[in-house]
Copies of this chain bind each other. A is one copy, B any other.
Amino acid sequence: MANIKDIAKMAGVSVTTVSRVINNYPYVSAEKAEAVRQAMKKCNYQRNINAVHLSKGKTFLVGVVVPFSNHPYFGLLIEGIANAALNNNYKLVLIQTNYEEVKEIEALTMLKDKQIDALIICSRICDWRVIEEFIEYGPIVLCEDAREKNISSTFVDHYKSFSAALNYLHQKGHSRIGYCIGRQSGTNSEQRDAAYKDFLKKNSLTYNPDFIFSGCFNFEDGEKVVTDLVQMKDRPTALLVTSDQVAAGILTCCKEHGIFIPEDLAIMGFDNQPISKVMHITTLEIPLVEVGRKLFFQAMDGETVSHEEIAVELIERETV
Binds B, one of A25-33, A49-57, A182-190, A208-216: A49-57
Query: Restricting to A98-113, which residues have a CB under 8 Å from any CB of B?
Result: 103, 106, 109-110, 112-113
Instruction: Report the separation of the CA atoms of residues A74 and B59 in the bound assembly, to the nearest whole angstrom.
Output: 26
Residues of B near A167 (CB, < 8 A) are none
Docked-complex contact B93 and A219, CB < 8 angstroms? no
Look across to chain B and name the residue whose beta carbon is closest to the beta carbon of A89. B106
Instruction: Report the separation of the CA atoms of residues A57 and B54 in the bound assembly, to the nearest whole angstrom.
Output: 12
Binds B, one of A5-13, A14-22, A273-281: A273-281
Residues of B near A94 (CB, < 8 A) are 78, 82, 92-94
Docked-complex contact A274 and B218, CB < 8 angstroms? yes
Query: Is A86 at the interface (CB under 8 A from chain B)?
Result: yes
Query: Is A304 at the interface (CB under 8 A from chain B)?
Result: no
Query: Is A302 at the interface (CB under 8 A from chain B)?
Result: no
Instruction: Report the separation of the CA atoms of residues A279 and B248 in the bound assembly, to the nearest whole angstrom.
Output: 11
A interface residues, how many (CB within 8 angstroms): 54
Query: For chain A, what secondary structure do more than half of its interface residues adopt (helix, strand, loop), or is it mixed?
Result: helix
Docked-complex contact A96 and B103, CB < 8 angstroms? no
Instruction: Report the separation of the CA atoms of residues A1 and B109 in the bound assembly, to the nearest whole angstrom.
Output: 15
Cβ of A285 to closest chain B Cβ, rounded Å: 15
Contacts A49-B115, A92-B93 given; indicate if A219 touches B275 (C-beta within 8 A).
yes
Contacts A75-B75, A274-B219 given; indicate if A50 touches B249 (C-beta within 8 A).
no
Query: Is A88 at the interface (CB under 8 A from chain B)?
Result: no
Cβ of A49 to closest chain B Cβ, rounded Å: 4
Query: Is A47 at the interface (CB under 8 A from chain B)?
Result: yes
Query: Is A259 at the interface (CB under 8 A from chain B)?
Result: no
Query: Is A200 at the interface (CB under 8 A from chain B)?
Result: no
Docked-complex contact A49 and B114, CB < 8 angstroms? yes
Contacts A49-B115, A94-B93, A113-B48 given; indicate if A82 touches B69 (C-beta within 8 A).
yes
Docked-complex contact A252 and B223, CB < 8 angstroms? no
Residues of B near A109 (CB, < 8 A) are 46
Instruction: Report the separation of the CA atoms of residues A70 and B80 in the bound assembly, to the nearest whole angstrom.
Output: 10
Instruction: Report the separation of the CA atoms of residues A71 and B76 in the bound assembly, to the nearest whole angstrom.
Output: 9
Query: Is A312 at the interface (CB under 8 A from chain B)?
Result: no
Instruction: Report the separation of the CA atoms of residues A49 and B109 in the bound assembly, to the nearest whole angstrom.
Output: 10
8 further A-B pairs in the complex, CB-CB below 8 A; given A46-B137, A49-B110, A50-B114 = A46-B109, A50-B50, A50-B53, A79-B96, A83-B96, A86-B103, A91-B110, A92-B94
